[in-house]
Amino acid sequence: MIGFGIDLVGITMIAFGNLDALNGTDNATETYNYEHSAAGSSIERQIKATRKYEKELDEIDERRDILTISGGVCLLGGGVLH
């Protein structure tokens, strides 16, 4: 019974990580598009907007990777406990 519970936690973590990444990427892209267009012809502001966008995407990927790995560990642990 505990194994099934741990499996459920693992699946939830993986699903949440992917959903968070999808929503975060959409939000980051919207912000980037706004800031890039607001920068106008200022190359410096365009570069800042691009770097901020890339940093946000890296942070999103890192969170997703952590949740995916943790979820995988829970799935393996749950499989052992079955």
How does DSSP assign the chain, residue by residue?
A: -HHHHHHHHHHHHHHHHHHHHHHHHHHHHHHHHHHHHHHTT-HHHHHHHHHHHHHHHHHHHHHHHHHHHHHHHHHHHHHHH-
Total number of domains in the chain: 1
- Phi, psi at residue 33, to the nearest 5°? -60, -40
The confidence score (pLDDT) of residue 6 equals 81
* Separation of alpha carbons 26 and 52, rounded Å: 14
- Tokens standing for residue 68: 């995916």
Q: Which domain holds residue 23?
A: 2-81
* pLDDT, tens digit (0-9, with 9 covering 90-100), for 5-50: 888 888 888 888 889 899 999 999 999 999 999 999 999 999 999 9
Q: Read off the pLDDT band of 80 (50, 70, 90).
A: confident
Six token digits for residue 47: 């570069």
82 pLDDT higher than 70: no
- The average confidence (pLDDT) of the chain is 89
